[in-house]
Amino acid sequence: MIRIPSFDLSSRNTFGMKVRCALFVEYSSVSELLELLSEDLPQPVLHIGGGSNLLFRSDFPGTVLHSAIVGISFAPSVISSSPSVISSEVEKSPAPADDSVIVEAGAGVVFDDLVAEACARGLWGLENLSLIPGEVGASAVQNIGAYGVEAGDVIDKVFCIDAATGEEVVFAASECAYGYRDSRFKHEKGRYIVVKVTFRLRRSYSPTLGYGNIKAALEGRDLTSLTPSDVRDAIIRIRREKLPDPAETGSAGSFFKNPVIPREHYDRIVASTPDGKVPHYDLPDGMVKVPAAWLIDTCGFRGAVKGGAKVYDKQPLVIVNATGSASPSDIISLENDIISAVRSRFAIDLHPEVEHI
Ligand SMILES: Cc1cc2nc3c(=O)[nH]c(=O)nc-3n(C[C@H](O)[C@H](O)[C@H](O)COP(=O)(O)OP(=O)(O)OC[C@H]3O[C@@H](n4cnc5c(N)ncnc54)[C@H](O)[C@@H]3O)c2cc1C
């Protein structure tokens, strides 16, 4: 277990905010976590993963916990392409009878390492989620999604410790209340600490290619004989073209959620738009989802700067720490400017996807 008082969190949040917490603790087993939960830790307590969906507004007065429970294990029926890291923290599940394969991963596993390993073994299900920053524990909290796939589609079970009682609680995916970047864990914040997640992947050919420009990125390929790694490579190419690499430029990915508005409201926006072209997705309940990126871009914010914060040129849904030394107030000030402009022009309230701490 690692314990560091007055810890500098700048390398633990992808925005690169230079903030401190009173105490940082990294545990590497469930028993260490249980020991910690019985202690009198500086309050409040915040559990982080890779810090890729967080904006620290200021120093954090309490304890920041991080899981180093690592290890990926595949049901034994899968032929291994390479030796897998097996942790004693992760127990084996019996192989399912159908063509699916249960994959278990500790909460502290880097999510993209899991995706890479699954693809290398020819397993379908995670490939569209390639290159999303962060760790396995948070993927189940956030219900991360990209290119038509959400974590909740492939999660089998989420294994948690109830922080209040210290008891293990296991949720089937159907009990996690998954929605767009939403889950029960977000609504019961701080109660459940995810320690491991199982995913149900498939051996049989089952790509999801209908979203974004995946097919264009696979042009020239025979779409009936792709491997999960082919799709992963295409997704990585697409993402690298339009999203900042957290290793080079601080950000937390999409800053705002895409708003959902009534059809009449959407029709009014179309009528007031010179070319009448407003990108949108019709939802089954008759509501309309409008890309926040289009709203932000139309309000003229692409490339807008506030102190060290900037709206990313290639994707206006992303706010970046352009100078590397942006302060939380630079980011929040730019966020507020965007919210005000979109509200006054379109009468839409944008809500941040990034969690403000
Ligand atoms: C460049 C970039 C691109 C991105 N692209 C996407 C994308 O395409 N799709 C998408 O959905 N997201 C995307 N994101 C957002 C981010 O990657 C996800 O939200 C990710 O799941 C966050 O994981 P994390 O480990 O960094 O969690 P953190 O940001 O550290 O935490 C996120 C939340 O999970 C909680 N949490 C973390 N670990 C645990 C645990 N073990 N138990 C209980 N709660 C926990 C935290 O308290 C917090 O509420 C992107 C971010 C960046 C920087």
Assign 355 a pLDDT band (cuts: 50, 70, 90).
very high
Per-residue confidence band for 95, with pLDDT thresholds at 50, 70 and 90: very low
pLDDT classification of 25: cutoffs 50, 70, 90: very high
CA of 138 to the centre of ligand 1 (A): 5
Those residues with Cβ within 8 angstroms of residue 276's Cβ, 6 or more apart along the chain or in another chain: 270
Residue 329, pLDDT score:
97
Atom of ligand 1 nearest to the CA of 14: 53
Cβ neighbours of residue 226 under 8 Å, at least 6 residues apart?
205, 207, 218
Calpha distance 65→30 (Å, rounded): 13
Amino acid occupying residue 86: I
134 touches ligand 1 (CB under 6 Å): yes
CA of 190 to the centre of ligand 1 (A): 15
Q: What is the DSSP string of 66-134?
A: EE----EEE-TTSPPSSPPP--TTSPPPPPPSSSEEEEEEETTSBHHHHHHHHHHTT-BSSGGGTT--S
Question: Which of 311, 315, 356, 312 shows the shortest CA–CA distance to 337?
Answer: 311
Extract the tokens encoding 353.
Answer: 């996807």
Say if residue 276 is exposed, middle or buried (CB neighbours under 10 Å; 0-12, 13-18, 19+).
exposed
Q: Check residue 211 and give its pLDDT.
A: 84
What gap in Å lies between CA 121 and CA 106, rounded to an integer?
18
Q: How many residues does the chain have?
A: 357
Reduce the secondary structure of 268-303 to three states and give it as a string: HHHHCCCCCCCCCEECCCCCEECCHHHHHHHCCCCC
Determine the average pLDDT of the residues in 86-109: 69
Q: Is 308 in the pocket of ligand 1 (CB under 6 A)?
A: no
For ligand 1, atom 4, the nearest C-alpha belongs to 253
The predicted structure's pLDDT at residue 80: 39
Q: Is the CB of 194 under 6 A from ligand 1?
A: yes
Q: Is the peptide bond before 94 cis (omega within 30 degrees of 0)?
A: no
Closest ligand 1 atom to 137 CA: 41
178, containing H or E segment: none
Determine the average pLDDT of the residues in 84-90.
39
Residue 320 vs residue 81, higher pLDDT: 320
Question: What pLDDT does 97 receive?
Answer: 56
Token pair for 344 = 């006054």
| pLDDT recorded at residue 116 | 98
Q: Is 67 a pocket residue for ligand 1 (Cβ < 6 Å)? A: yes
What percent of the chain clears pLDDT 70, i.e. is strictly above it?
Answer: 94
Q: Indicate which residue's Cα is closest to atom 48 of ligand 1.
A: 48
User: Over 50: is that where the pLDDT of 89 sits?
Assistant: no
Give, using CA atoms, the residue closest to atom 20 of ligand 1: 134
Residue 81 has pLDDT above 80, yes or no: no
CA 172 to each of CA 32, 120, 158, 159, 169: distance values in angstroms, whole numbers, following the listed order: 25, 26, 6, 9, 10
Q: How far is 60 from 45, CA to CA, in rounded Å?
A: 9
Give catalytic residues, as residue numbers: 181, 254, 353
Average pLDDT on 115-126 reads: 97
Q: Compute φ and ψ for 81, nearest 5 degrees.
A: -90, -20
Is residue 135 in contact with ligand 1, taking CB distance under 6 Å? Answer: yes
Please choose from 53, 183, 242 the residue to mutate so as to test ligand 1's pocket, defined by most ligand atoms within 8 A of CB. Answer: 53
Domain annotation for the chain: domains and CATH numbers:
2-67 (3.30.43.10), 72-242 (3.30.465.10), 250-356 (3.90.78.10)
Tell me the average pLDDT of the chain.
93
Q: What is each CA distance from 148 to 127, 152, 252, 314, in whole angstroms?
A: 11, 12, 20, 21
Residue 39 burial (CB count, 10 A)? 8
Condensed to tens digits (0 to 9), the pLDDT of residues 130-139 reads: 999 999 999 9
pLDDT of residue 88: 39
Give the Cα separation of 114 and 103 in Å (integer). 9
pLDDT tens digits for range 245-260: 999 999 999 999 999 9
Q: Is the pLDDT of residue 86 over 60?
A: no
Ligand 1 pocket test target in 12, 48, 195, 196 with most atoms within 8 Å of CB: 48
